[in-house]
Structure 1
Amino acid sequence: MLKRPCHGVIAAPFLPMHADGEIDWAGLERYMDWLANQNPAGIAMNMDASEVIALSEDEQDQVIRACIGVIRGRVPFLSGIVAGSTRSAAAKAERFARMGVEGFPVFPPFPTFSGAPVPGEMIYRYHKAIADAAHLPIICFQFPKGWGPDYSPDIVRRVADIPEVIAIKEASFDVAQTLSTIEVAAALPRSIGVLTGSDTFIFEAMMMGCSGALIGFAGTFTRELVEMNEGVQGGDIAKAQAIWRKLGPIARYCWRSPIRDFRPRMKEVLRLQGLIACAAVREPQLGIDDAERAHIRHLMNAQGLLA
């Protein structure tokens, strides 16, 4: 059950594909079964990590059905809402709710939300329409600066007035922005969770006060990240820090510039772990070269992360 304020580690996994870019449905089912057993606070598909923009509407629906069929209520299942208009976003939320989705990370509608400043009323009305259509928990999405709308303190307060808003995914990759969002969320009459989406400093964001994470890096090392968050929230900082010392170099490498290549890099990590069979991505995204693959293997060996 997703509640306000939301906390814990929600995994945003990757989508297994065959070499030709078609979805590996059997591989997806095996991966979801493994992931649900890692004790995350939720699993969110149709996200940036799972290449939602490259999927047709029908494929997005099929991904939902396949995942829900495997997870079978073991953990909450969420689906991203990616749409170009308020009307289509609300319709998608209503459709996903009927399919059994339990909550929605809401992506800004691009290009309408591109450029600063984005009117707060526009942001509020977009999320309110989705809430009214499905009456399910919503997680707002703070993108990196320059990528999407900047959730200023006033805008955070405004969208938090929507009862269905349980958290904000703080993926600005900016320390000052993260701290500001944490402070504003804590001062609300009814607080919301702040889930870090900044894969390069997950531990540090939790130490700043994030209540958890909604994050692509939790598509693997899921149990370890859950334990790291429990360590931070429970005061066992040494344990949490030890986990991040091992995992942090992988996260920082996979999310280095160009950041779009985090998908094939992370799929290579999953392939090396035996969690997926192939590291293919769907074009126009390109894969990584042999040098990167070799470096990822070397890094995982050095960190003791390969059996």
Structure 2
Amino acid sequence: MEQLGQVLVAVVTPMRSDGEVDWPGVEALIDGCVTQGADGIVVSGTTGETSTLTDAEKIQLVRTAKQVAGSRARIISGGPSNETAHAIQLARESAAAGADGILLVTPYYLKPTQAGVLTHIRMVADATDLPVILYDIPGRAGIPLAYDTILRAAKHPNVVAVKDAKGDFAQVSHVLGETDLAYYSGDDTHALAHAAIGAVGVVSVTANIASAAYRRMFDAVNANDFAQALEMHRALEPLVRATMTHIPGTVSTKYILHGLGRIGSPRVRLPLVGPEEAEAAVIEADIAEVGEIPGVDFSDFRPDRNAAAGGALPRIPGAARRNA
């Protein structure tokens, strides 16, 4: 989808060892992803630790990403909140900061009815002129986006796409047949499978590490070269496994990026913590199975379990000080 990109990276938020945002690290990571072929960057999403970021940090991430990417990639503001009023505020501030779109997650924890979910979607979509990608992730939100809710939300002119992390391929096919919505795979394991049934792209965590490989996969899809796309999918499988299956993707991705020397610290904010010894060992075993992948060289991979241990408490709590 040219409007919002095809290879979208749900970027981590690099942090210093004290848990404060590493702004030069943010710039370097985003520039690296875009240079390797990402045409969309999602900041302050789940992978970016949105729940522990202040509002000021979230908006600065939009500004920074926009400045770094320029015209090379679209900038999508993730989240933005499970509280409708707060989500509206963040959507408006993101638009003012230069965001090109909003990734709107199903309201989490509260478990509203589908009528409440639909009202939330419509009110946030009304708040700006930005295109909205609905984020269907019942594993985190606690509730799915029901089929009828998606169809009704699709009637809003600003609702243009769905990021699917539910894995209901029958529903995806059904929605694609009934609406003009674009679909993005929201699960790295399913990226090629989603593309095979009509998804326009992926919002990927593993692409923090391997943007070039996802670019090659979707270039192959665009060229109807399924054999090349499948080859890339298979090459990525052990890396996707390392990133997505053992511990939260944010933690494993930072651990791997730090081991590659791409970020200065693998630090995450509490309650996230770095991998335990056994978890780190499994991740490293998966990495050992990775062969040749465009843009990634694991020959000098040096994971640092000590640097990754524990988690940080930021100076300003995110939820307590929204406007800090």
Same fold (TM over 0.5): yes
Q: Give how far 1:242 is off.
A: 1.1
- Describe the superposition over 1:248-297 as per-residue Cα deviations: whole angstroms up to 9, x where unpaired: 12212322255xx2211111221222221221111111101344334434
Alignment length, in residue pairs? 294
The equivalent of 1:236 in structure 2 is 225
1:24 to 8, 22, 31: 22
Following TM superposition, by how much is the alpha carbon of 1:48 offset from its aligned partner in structure 2, in angstroms?
0.3
2:243 maps to what in 1?
Answer: 254
Do 1:11 and 1:40's aligned partners in 2 also have CA atoms closer than 8 Å?
Answer: yes
Letter in 1 for 2:250: R
Residue 7 of structure 1: how far off its partner (Å): 6.0
Matched, 1:158 2:149: no
Question: Is the 1:167–1:193 Cα contact (8 Å) retained in structure 2?
Answer: yes
CA distance in 2, matches of 1:193, 1:244: 21
Tell me which amino acid in the other structure corresponds to 2:193. Answer: E
Q: Which runs of 5+ in 2 are unaligned?
A: 292-296, 300-324
**TM-score (normalised: structure 1):** 0.88
- TM-score after normalising by structure 2: 0.84
Contact kept, 8 Å, 1:182 with 1:210, in 2: the verdict is no
Paired with 1:74 and 1:208, the residues of 2 have a C-alpha distance of 27
Find out whether 1:10 has 2:8 as its counterpart.
yes
Partner in structure 1 of residue 254 of structure 2: 267
Give the superposition deviation at 1:50: 0.6
CA displacement, residues 175-201 of structure 1 (integer Å, 9 cap, x when unaligned): xx133123212322xx11110101222
* Aligned twin of 2:91: 93
Unmatched runs of 5 consecutive residues or more in structure 1: none
Q: Secondary structure at the match of 1:169?
A: strand
| Aligned counterpart in structure 2 of residue 277 of structure 1, from 264, 272, 281 | 264
Identity %: 26
Match of 1:34 in 2: 32
CA RMSD, 1 decimal: 2.1
Residue among 184, 193, 217 paired with 2:175: 184
Q: CA deviation at 1:37?
A: 1.2
Q: Deviations over 1:45-68 (max 9, x none)?
A: 010001010111121122222222
Q: Is the 8 A contact 1:139 1:165 kept in 2?
A: yes
Distance 2:216 2:239 in 1: 17
Which one-letter code corresponds to 1:306 in the other structure? F
1:130 counterpart letter in structure 2: V
